[in-house]
Amino acid sequence: MAKLLVATAALAATAGTVRALTARPAPARIEVSIDARFGSFAPHVIRANRGDTIHVTLRALDTAHGFKVQGTNVDITAMPGMTAEVTFVVDWNGGREWYCTFSCGPQHGTMTGMIVTESRSRD
């Protein structure tokens, strides 16, 4: 009987540990509206966890602007007064720069931003 109680207690403790090790936060959907105007994006930083889905709505407030995420196939252009949208899954850890791909004027080179990602718990 004592052996049965010890075995049952050990099994219960192990089950709790396994559940704790496999519990991860579910991926999130992050909605971001980015305003693009001569020389800047606002906001210029997006924070996410690996596995999250990011939906970007790009608004061109003055002239055409692009949004390309370095090292990915994410690449859209918004025309003046219009929006462009893209949805993608963050499949990296660390930072990835985004930048304007449309030659929008003398401050075009300053139009950058960053997507900063971290691993989910237990990734």
Q: What is the DSSP string of 56-70?
A: EEEEESSS-EEEEET
> According to the model, what pLDDT value does residue 110 have?
86
pLDDT at position 31 is 98
Name the helix (H) or strand (E) containing 32.
strand 29-37
> 29-118 falls under which CATH superfamily?
Cupredoxins -  blue copper proteins (2.60.40.420)
Residue closest to 113 by CA, chosen among 29, 35, 31: 35
Look up the pTM and report it. Answer: 0.76
The amino acid sitting at 45 is V
C-alpha 104/C-alpha 79 separation (Å) is 11
CA distance 65 to 63: 6
- The DSSP secondary-structure symbol of 27 reads P
**pLDDT tens across the length of the chain (123 residues):** 565 454 555 555 555 544 555 566 789 999 999 999 988 999 999 999 999 999 999 999 999 999 999 999 999 999 998 999 999 999 999 999 999 998 887 888 889 999 999 887 654
- Spell out the domain ranges in the chain: 29-118
